[in-house]
Amino acid sequence: MKTKITKIRKKAQEEIVGFVLIMVLVAVIFLVFLTIAFRNNSEAEKTQSSEVSQFLDAIMEFTTSCSSDNYNFKQLEEIFNECKKGELCMPGKEACDYLNETLKVLIEESWKFSPNAPEKGYILGAISTESSRPLTFLTLKGGNCTSYARRGADKPLGGKITISLEICS
């Protein structure tokens, strides 16, 4: 009789251990799903875009109306270097002011930004990578880029500058 009771107790203990293991497994799976579902995406992720990359390549070759002698006109890439140094691109015109005006026109003529359009806005940044701590020396924003998916590209330039353009859609 005693052996029969101990067999029943052992069998009950084995069933309880199995039940606890199943509950732990279900709890772990539940926590994984909760983590994925409630992950905090406060900043939209930027996906790489060949279209934006090619646009950046093209505008760096854009010949501007900036010239110190009215004969040798500078490309946009040169103006970025002058802006980083705080120089003038032509008499009476700061390079950064010229960049802001020119980039705004180039970007907004290439994409149409509005709440009803596929593209909602853009963010362009020019970052100096000369020191160990990157320094943003130019930022240009247009439209509305809050809580939208972003596609973009980064373009390194000579003079340790990286240009980043994100198109929000």
pTM above 0.85, yes or no: no
How would residue 41 be classed by pLDDT, with cut points 50, 70 and 90?
Answer: very low
Q: What is the mean pLDDT of the segment spanning 131-139?
A: 86
pLDDT for 132 equals 80
How would residue 158 be classed by pLDDT, with cut points 50, 70 and 90?
Answer: confident
- Residues 162 and 129: beta-carbon distance below 8 Å: yes
Q: What is the mean pLDDT of the segment spanning 156-163?
A: 87
Q: What value does the mean pLDDT of the chain take?
A: 84
Domain limits, the chain: 1-39, 46-168
pLDDT digits (tens, 9 = 90+) for 106-125: 999 999 888 888 888 999 99
Rounded to 5 degrees, φ, ψ at 163 are -105, 130
Q: What is the mean pLDDT of the segment spanning 60-72?
A: 86
CA 169 to chain centre: 13
Alpha-carbon distance values, 7 to 13, 16, 19 (Å): 10, 14, 18
- Residues 83 and 93: beta-carbon distance below 8 Å: no
Q: What is the mean pLDDT of the segment spanning 48-56?
A: 89
How would residue 33 be classed by pLDDT, with cut points 50, 70 and 90?
Answer: confident
pLDDT for 148 equals 67
Provide, rounded to the nearest whole percent, the portion of the chain with pLDDT above 90: 26
pLDDT for 102 equals 93
pLDDT digits (tens, 9 = 90+) for 78-106: 998 898 888 988 878 899 999 999 999 99
Buried/exposed 100-138: b ≥16 CB within 10 Å, e otherwise: bebbeeebeeebebeeeeebbbbbbbbbbeeeeeeeebb
